[in-house]
Amino acid sequence: MSIMANYHALTGNEAVAYAMKQIAPDVVAAYPITPQTSLMQKFSDFVADGDVDTEMILVESEHSAMSACVGAAASGVRTMTATAANGLALMWEIVYIAASSRLPIVMPVVNRALSAPINIHCDHSDAMGARDSGWIQLWSENAQEAYDNTIQAVKIAEDPDVRLPVMVNLDGFVISHGMENVDIYDDKKVKSFIGEYKPLVNLLDLKHPVTIGPLDLQDYYFEHKRQQAEGMMHAQKAIDKVGKEFGASFGREYDIVEGYKLEDADFVIIGLGSTMGTLRMVIDEARKSGMKAGFLKLRVFRPFPKEIVRKHLKGKKAVAVLDRSDSFNAVSGPLYSEITSALYGVADIPVVNYIYGLGGRDTSVSMLHRVVKDTYDISKSGKCDNILNYLGVR
């Protein structure tokens, strides 16, 4: 099947807003925050011009945004919001409630540093802080992926075996405000790809009244948490399936992870988000100078693809993990903890950690060259003396 590309010059935020227009959620409740603002502004234009018939709730805070989303989603309609950084932090309490109530809300998170000090630029501390909230997390390398992930997120969230909300992460400013050529798909094809939403329960079904959000004590709470965990366990299969179906429909197939020159690599750099784009070039250059480098990009951080990570890292001589947030646990960043946990007991590989790009600090080609060179040295010596490194800090 040949698929005609339909490229538009769009920023990441515009591309995601376009995906939202095509998804046409019944309800969107949102509050503006940099760098998410231009996303909601664009979507508001679509609503104001009648290009989409979504009912918008322009709330007075992110807390109310997620609260209204919970109310709408519990009423059985397709529901979306978007936020960033402090906005995500303010809705934190309800972020957990959305997941625990098994409501398939989709939320682009335009990743930005958390305060203090206040900083509007990219890092991953917002989404990483919410990594145990029970939301599925998709991560995007560029505007195309942000657009594609947003469309897929709807189907993943609503999968009957999953029924969990999904965060679509895109790097603030780097992706959200950078303009790229984005292949926009046909409205009707997107509509048919996501299909009709069939909610399991619905507050508005007068024939079947339901109580949502009851008090759940020692005798049942644990079982409900276990069921929630089960939903997340099913998520990887659903994400995989939706990624393949997406490929069949639109010509871009998505895996849980993406490897670059990974198969024959001696050592591997792991990360997520836009920095992986820069890393492609750095790896090409490293290869030219005789270093057998490769990368493993995680498109999915929740559920954590443990087995896939293990499979790809088995037999490698060294691994570097790039973390665009700090856990402040005096050991490592959050991604490092997950990777080393996956490797525990199956492979004895030295793994080095780089905290980088906090508060939008530019991560230059030369910095990534240093990461590649250091990891190469570790692969040769088999030793990693200094696990925790802060890349590009003065």
Partner 1 sequence: MATIKELLQRESALSSGHRMCAGCTAPIIVKLISLASKYPLVVSCATGCLEVATTIYPYTAWKCSFIHNAFENSAATISGVETAYRALRKKGKIKNEIKFIGFGGDGGMYDIGLQALSGAMERGHDILTVCYDNEAYMNTGIQRSSATPKGAATTTSPAGKVIPGKKQFRKDLTGIMAAHKIPYVAQASPSHWQDLVKKVEKALEIKGPKFMNILMPCTLGWRFMVDEGIEMAKLAVETCFWPLYEIENGKHAVTYKPKEKKRLIEFIEKQGRFSHLKKEKNKHIIDELQKDVDRNWEELLRKA
Which positions lie near partner 1, rule CB under 8 A?
26-27, 29, 53-55, 57-61, 63-64, 67-77, 79, 93-94, 97, 203-206, 209-217, 220
Q: How far is the CB of 90 from partner 1 (least distance, A)?
A: 11
Residue whose CB is less far from partner 1, 210 or 331: 210
Residue whose CB is less far from partner 1, 7 or 220: 220
Q: How far is the CB of 163 from partner 1 (least distance, A)?
A: 17
Residue whose CB is less far from partner 1, 75 or 340: 75
Q: Which two three-digit tokens encode residue 123?
A: 């890092």
- The DSSP string of 248-306 is HHHS----SEEEES-TT-SEEEEE-STHHHHHHHHHHHHHHTT--EEEEEESEEES--H
Residue whose CB is less far from partner 1, 40 or 368: 40
Q: How far is the CB of 20 from partner 1 (least distance, A)?
A: 15
Residue whose CB is less far from partner 1, 160 or 213: 213
Residue whose CB is less far from partner 1, 94 or 182: 94
Q: Do you find a cis peptide bond into 25, omega within 30 degrees of 0?
A: no
Please give the C-alpha separations between residue 184 and each of 144, 160, 176, 267, 322, in angstroms, as whole numbers: 9, 28, 16, 36, 31
Asked whether 193 and 64 are in contact (CB, 8 A), the reply is: no
- Residue 288: which residues within 8 A CB-CB, separation 6 or more? none
Q: How far is the CB of 269 from partner 1 (least distance, A)?
A: 41
Q: How far is the CB of 73 from partner 1 (least distance, A)?
A: 8
Q: How far is the CB of 369 from partner 1 (least distance, A)?
A: 48
CA-only gyration radius of the chain, Å = 21
Q: How far is the CB of 61 from partner 1 (least distance, A)?
A: 6
Residue whose CB is less far from partner 1, 212 or 347: 212
- Residue 323: which residues within 8 A CB-CB, separation 6 or more? 124, 271, 332, 333, 334, 335, 336, 353, 354, 355, 356
Q: How far is the CB of 338 from partner 1 (least distance, A)?
A: 29
Reference 157, options 105, 224, 108, 234; nearest CA is 105
Q: How far is the CB of 33 from partner 1 (least distance, A)?
A: 16
Torsion region of 360: left, alpha or beta (phi above 0 gives left; psi -120 to 50 gives alpha): left
Return the axis-axis angle of helices 365-381 and 275-288, rounded to nearest 10°: 60
Residue whose CB is less far from partner 1, 74 or 319: 74
Angstrom distance (rounded) from CA 154 to CA 197: 9
Torsion region of 85: left, alpha or beta (phi above 0 gives left; psi -120 to 50 gives alpha): left
Angstrom distance (rounded) from CA 81 to CA 31: 8
Q: Which two three-digit tokens encode residue 232?
A: 């997340």
Residue whose CB is less far from partner 1, 94 or 352: 94
Angstrom distance (rounded) from CA 277 to CA 233: 29
Q: How far is the CB of 59 from partner 1 (least distance, A)?
A: 6
Please give the C-alpha separations between residue 42 and each of 57, 60, 80, 122, in angstroms, as whole numbers: 15, 19, 15, 20
Residue whose CB is less far from partner 1, 213 or 382: 213
Angstrom distance (rounded) from CA 229 to CA 142: 30
Q: Which amino acid belongs to residue 67?
A: S
